[in-house]
């Protein structure tokens, strides 16, 4: 796996960013934290020299927020990515790993998307990520920048901001509250433990081919209703705690990634089965109230 000599984490600490997430590595002398915004070209120009790899995670990432207002999605996800790509090119960065999402393909009723599938995003979030993917690939084709793009399915695990469904439901249930279930609960997602996602990204960073896209999936598709049932059981709660709510506008019905390419080329297989991953995740939120309680106490900006 990766053994970098130095890692710089650059993060704007938006509502979903949290310096406490770096607690397990805070004292590692190889870590440098820069509080900064990828939309600031001058700052990015100062930070990038001397780095040989950029792994670009920073984004506005929550679909519901993009429906309420798309501006930060376009400025961070599209313009911010372009700022980083420009800096990578200018300063001779050896490899640029762009982290993206299965949502760029839209919705698929049957079968699974391969990396060649046309993009058809439906939300302002996924449209802005599609824009950033295309820019990243264009920097490879036009300028020869060594770019690789990853597209993953729905992540879950520790340290996830409690607006995403798994930590939202788990923390609501642990607090004795209710959980909102969109529409008929039949929307299907593939679930990927964050550790498997990071393993996949590391493989792509090390051995992925320049200019290529790699899917990273978890291998377990569930309807939101099935996911809710698992979370209720793990938290010892019943269906009386579930409140049906109006469906999300433009809600994609099903996402499904074909992960044959990363399996055959790079030997990736998801290693954390969903039932054990969810049980560990629920345990983590049970044991880390001090991490999430302050986040739920203040209305998110
Ligand atoms: N969470 C998922 O299920 C999922 C699925 C597919 C792809 N992704 C992708 O993975 C990446 C990370 O997603 P996440 O769920 O951790 O998102 P998140 O919203 O939880 O975290 C985003 C991080 O980016 C930082 N950030 C936002 N705008 C910034 C800016 N302008 N400059 C610098 N930092 C900024 C935030 O402070 C925060 O730390 C994103 O690119 C997202 O599109 C996530």
The whole-angstrom separation of Cα 104 and Cα 194 is: 19
Asked whether residue 283 is domain-assigned, the answer is yes
Buried b (16+ CB within 10 A) or exposed e, 126-156: bbbbbbbbebbbebbeeeebbbbbbbbbbbb
Ligand 1 atom at shortest distance from the alpha carbon of 13: 37
Asked whether residue 101 is domain-assigned, the answer is yes
Average pLDDT of the chain is: 96
Rg (CA), the chain: 19
| Domain count across the chain | 1
Pair of tokens at residue 82: 């372009």
Is-contact 181 243, C-beta < 8 A? yes
For residue 264, the domain's CATH number is 3.40.50.720
pLDDT digits (tens, 9 = 90+) for 179-195: 999 999 999 999 999 99
The whole-angstrom separation of Cα 234 and Cα 232 is: 6
Is-contact 192 155, C-beta < 8 A? yes
Q: Is the CB of 180 inside a 6 Å radius of any atom of ligand 1?
A: no
In angstroms, the Cα distances linking 81 to 86, 141, 202 are 9, 16, 20
pLDDT level of residue 300 (50, 70, 90 thresholds): low
159 given a catalytic annotation: no
Using DSSP, state whether 219 is helix, strand or coil: coil
Pocket residue to mutate for ligand 1, from 14, 77, 216, most atoms within 8 A of Cβ: 14
Is residue 95 over pLDDT 80? yes
Catalytic residue (choose from 11, 60, 103, 196): 103
pLDDT of residue 297: 86
Please state, for a pLDDT cut of 90, what percent of the chain lies above it: 97
Asked whether residue 1 is domain-assigned, the answer is no
Catalytic residue (choose from 11, 60, 105, 125): 125
163 given a catalytic annotation: no
Asked whether residue 155 is domain-assigned, the answer is yes
Is residue 301 over pLDDT 60? no
pLDDT level of residue 121 (50, 70, 90 thresholds): very high
- Mean pLDDT of the region 274-278: 96
Using DSSP, state whether 217 is helix, strand or coil: coil
- Percentage helix, strand, coil, to 5, in the chain? 45, 20, 40
The whole-angstrom separation of Cα 219 and Cα 36 is: 35
pLDDT digits (tens, 9 = 90+) for 65-93: 999 999 999 999 999 999 999 999 999 99
DSSP state of 118: P
Please state, for a pLDDT cut of 70, what percent of the chain lies above it: 98
Pair of tokens at residue 114: 């391969």
DSSP state of 21: G
Asked whether residue 2 is domain-assigned, the answer is no
Asked whether residue 57 is domain-assigned, the answer is yes
Is-contact 222 188, C-beta < 8 A? yes
- Mean pLDDT of the region 136-140: 98
pLDDT level of residue 231 (50, 70, 90 thresholds): very high
DSSP state of 20: G
The edge-to-edge listing of strands for the beta sheet with 220-223 is: 154-156, 188-193, 220-223
The whole-angstrom separation of Cα 115 and Cα 48 is: 29
125 given a catalytic annotation: yes
Is residue 1 over pLDDT 70? no
Q: Is the CB of 75 inside a 6 Å radius of any atom of ligand 1?
A: no
Q: Is the CB of 150 inside a 6 Å radius of any atom of ligand 1?
A: no
Asked whether residue 247 is domain-assigned, the answer is yes
Domain residue limits at 130: 7-297
The whole-angstrom separation of Cα 121 and Cα 58 is: 19
- Mean pLDDT of the region 119-136: 98
Is residue 2 over pLDDT 70? no
pLDDT digits (tens, 9 = 90+) for 8-40: 999 999 999 999 999 999 999 999 999 999 999
């Amino acid at each position: 796996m990766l053994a970098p000599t130095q890692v710089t984490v650059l993060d704007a600490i938006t509502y979903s960013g949290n310096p406490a997430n770096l607690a397990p590595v805070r004292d590692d002398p190889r870590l440098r934290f820069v509080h900064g915004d990828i939309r600031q070209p001058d700052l990015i120009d100062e930070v990038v020299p001397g780095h040989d790899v950029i792994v670009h995670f920073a984004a506005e990432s929550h679909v519901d927020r993009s429906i309420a207002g798309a501006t930060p999605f376009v400025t961070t996800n599209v313009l911010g990515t372009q700022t980083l790509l420009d800096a990578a090119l200018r300063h001779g960065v050896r490899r640029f790993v762009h982290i993206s999402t299965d949502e760029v393909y839209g919705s698929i009723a049957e079968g699974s998307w391969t990396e060649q599938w046309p993009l058809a995003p439906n939300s302002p979030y996924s449209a802005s990520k599609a824009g950033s993917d295309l820019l990243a690939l264009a920097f490879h084709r036009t300028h020869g920048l060594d770019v690789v793009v990853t597209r993953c399915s729905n992540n879950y695990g520790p340290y996830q901001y409690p607006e995403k469904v798994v930590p939202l439901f788990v923390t609501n249930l642990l607090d004795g509250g209710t959980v909102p279930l969109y529409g008929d609960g039949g929307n299907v997602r593939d679930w990927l433990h964050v550790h498997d996602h990071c393993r996949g990204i590391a493989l792509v960073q090390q051995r992925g081919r320049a200019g290529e896209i790699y899917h990273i999936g978890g291998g377990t598709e569930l309807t939101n209703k099935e996911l809710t049932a698992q979370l209720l059981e793990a938290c010892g709660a019943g269906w009386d705690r579930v409140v049906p709510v109006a469906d999300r506008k433009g809600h994609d019905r099903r996402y499904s990634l074909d992960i044959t390419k990363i399996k055959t080329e790079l030997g990736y297989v998801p290693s954390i089965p969903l039932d054990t991953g969810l049980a560990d995740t629920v345990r983590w939120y049970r044991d880390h109230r001090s991490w999430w309680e302050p986040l739920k106490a203040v209305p998110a900006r």
